Structure 1
């Protein structure tokens, strides 16, 4: 299946979202009268990047044209992309290896047992699309109903956006949910056309007003470790550090371990 048209559309949407967040003041352009669109105009971005305005318009429209490394670097500079966003831009433009659409790697039995060995620390293993492949009792208690989905795999993104308990457990729900959606967007771009991602994203957009609002912003983010404030059923609000480890033989699978910060 030819996924180039889909990827070109994604590239255009990404460029447009980043163009709209840059103000003329930020790049030293004078404000001239009333502006009908947020951020830079297409011709302004093209001028700053040293390319033809018509050619850039075609790029944003998803036309069948190919941008060179030099052009992409110029656009990334003008748009002030961070390292992760820059890599995402190059990947969408076909200048980086794309993850192959394939059946998910099966979870080996010895790997599935790892979260159990980490009890009492909450731990789970997720796939690239946030399906929960394995978890321990502490994780099931900390994230109620995460693994109770009937007839389909438990999924962390579905839990965060569609499970009412998530807003009780995740203290800073909005910022955490926004970050998770940005990471899901990044993962989906690595697997264009993969039905696991398209089905999940369609479901989230259908059932979550937040996803419908945030998805068009085209935020992207790499998976990382960090801190979360979580409200535990028996102990109240606690601070947790969490660490993510990609499995060596199945890099799409990630082991996430939580430890209480005292």
Structure 2
């Protein structure tokens, strides 16, 4: 991401967070009717104890000097969470050391034997491993049954963000597809800020915006989360309605990988449906081990 793109991303993020914060939530009187939702720039400046002109320039993406202490005051004024604070700092303070240490990966990585074993042990919990560009590098049999057999997709095309907008089986699966996508985009944005010097992100975002207008609309919401925990409802062609709790875990070690685990929500019957689904013909697909599916798509 070059300097211009970084400042544009900073501007869009600050504006979205300001408009999402009500005066009441910020500890200000509601006042009269407002033409636009959220706080005014002057109110953010007041809460952060900075000049209205300086904050306006910051939100406009102007190339101005920003200190960590003043940026922290802005983050507090906007009630940003920990993930949003890190994203803001990565954009405004020229990235992070962690992001600069790792060179961009041109090709997806592979799961280690230990991670493949862990994935296979999650018999009734779909699990998907992805890298910092949201490229799928591994999955278990349960994921192949619930989502699709990622093995039929060429490795270079296994980007989860892209698949959510191009694969009809994934679009039919989620009862609330928008919320499903928002979770992945929140993770993707956290990487976007962390690896701000990787120009791949900017190119990918521009390509997705050009091909998929809905991507652009959801991306402009500027949600950020390294580990969103949500309940998702799926409408599976064979198993019917199922609900899962999504837990996203960072894999520690030399590889910057993430494991997204979909645990059957309690008291929904999803665990029983998953057991029956896994019994109806054993798919041989297991992410990263090279085996092919015997029964096609779930």
TM-score range normalised by the length of the shorter chain: 0.7 to 0.9
User: TM (normalized to structure 2)?
Assistant: 0.74
1:221 aligns with 2:225: yes
> Structure 1 unaligned runs (5+)?
none
Q: Does 1:124 align with 2:123?
A: no
C-alpha contact (below 8 Å) 2:75/2:85 kept by paired residues: yes
User: How far off its partner does 1:99 sit?
Assistant: 0.8
- Decide whether aligned partners of structure 1 residues 45 and 116 sit closer, same or farther in structure 2, where only a CA change above 3 A counts: closer
The residue aligned with 1:65 is: 64
Matched, 1:197 2:201: yes
- 1:217 alignment partner, SS class: coil
Instruction: Find the aligned partners of 1:220 and 1:150 in 2 and give their Cα distance.
Output: 29
1:113 to 2:116 alignment = yes
Number of the residue aligned with 1:260:
264
Evaluate the alpha carbon distance shift between residue 99 and residue 4 of structure 1 in structure 2; reply closer, same or farther with a 3 A threshold. Answer: same
State the Cα RMSD in Å: 3.0
Matched with 1:10 is 9
Which secondary structure state, in structure 2, belongs to the residue aligned with residue 240 of structure 1?
Answer: strand
Q: What corresponds to 1:99 in structure 2?
A: 99
For the structure 1 residues 170 and 147, does the alpha-carbon distance in structure 2 shift closer, same or farther, using more than 3 Å as the test?
farther
| Corresponding residue pairs, total | 260
Identify which range, 67-76 or 37-46, moves more after superposition.
Answer: 37-46
- 8 Å contact kept, 2:227–2:249: no
Per-residue CA deviations over 1:93-146 (Å, capped at 9, x if unaligned) read 228535126233732542563366336333331111211112233322211264
Flag the structure with more relative contact order, 1 or 2, with Cα contacts below 8 A and sequence separation at least 6.
2
Greater shift in the superposed pair: 194-203 or 158-167: 194-203
Q: What is the 5 A alignment of 1:8-87?
A: 8-24=7-23, 26=25, 27-29=27-29, 31=31, 35=35, 37-87=36-86
Match for residue 207 of structure 1? 211
Query: How far did 1:193 drift?
Result: 4.5
1:216-254 deviation digits (Å, cap 9, x = unpaired): 222212224554322333221122344433222235212
TM score, norm. by length of structure 1:
0.82
Task: Summarize deviations over 1:155-191 as a string: whole Å, max 9, x none.
Answer: 2212222221112212222212122212212211112
Q: d(CA) in 2 for partners of 1:181 and 1:33?
A: 32
Helix, strand or coil for the counterpart of 1:129?
coil
Give the Cα separation in 1 of the matches to 2:224 and 2:262: 23
Of the structure 1 ranges 122-131 and 23-32, higher mean CA displacement relative to structure 2 is found in: 23-32
